Amino acid sequence: MNIKNIQFDSEFSFKTSRSGGAGGQNVNKVSTKVELDFDVVNSALLSDEQKALILSKLQNKISKEGILQIISQTERNQLGNKEIAIKKFYELIHKCFVVQKKRRPTKPSKSSKEKRLTSKKRDSDIKKMRKKDW
């Protein structure tokens, strides 16, 4: 599934509010916290398979209505927080579509088994030597 060339910016909706944290008096009067909302269920840019994949992998971040919400309040200005929220969104979406390689189970080699057993034997002998009555 190729998701790299899709621009979702047209389907974003933003809400702003006052954020906590650093900023002094600025915190009390300027709305710098940004909430990015993306409606996964009603997106025209995603196929049904892509929607299902996003809904399953990001189920903890998606509301019951199917809206993915990302919040950013680290910066002291609204534009910086907006850029960070967009960047977080694209990173999340990209991670959803990365397919992990299947693990091929392997057996330990003969020499690694021998090394393990000899080291166990050596440790056992050392502990035996520590006892008083040998």
**Residue 21 belongs to some domain of the structure:** yes
User: pLDDT at position 85, please?
Assistant: 92
Query: At 25, which CATH number?
Result: 3.30.160.20
Task: Indicate the number of domains in the chain.
Answer: 1
**Residue 119 belongs to some domain of the structure:** no
- Look at residues 67, 86, 97 and name the one whose alpha carbon lies nearest to residue 4: 97
Q: CB within 8 A of 91, min separation 6: which ones?
A: none
Which domain does 75 fall in, by range?
A: 9-96
**Residue 90 belongs to some domain of the structure:** yes
Residues 75-127 have pLDDT tens digits of: 888 899 999 999 999 999 888 888 889 999 999 999 999 999 999 999 999 99
Most confident of 6-10, 12-16, 75-79, 85-89: 85-89
Q: Is the pLDDT of residue 3 over 70?
A: no
Tally of CA atoms within 13 A in the half-sphere of 93 that contains its CB: 24
Q: Is the pLDDT of residue 50 over 90?
A: no
User: pLDDT at position 16, please?
Assistant: 82
Tally of CA atoms within 13 A in the half-sphere of 66 that contains its CB: 10
The mean pLDDT of the chain is: 85
Give the bridge partners for 88, in sequence order: none
**Residue 73 belongs to some domain of the structure:** yes
User: pLDDT at position 66, please?
Assistant: 87
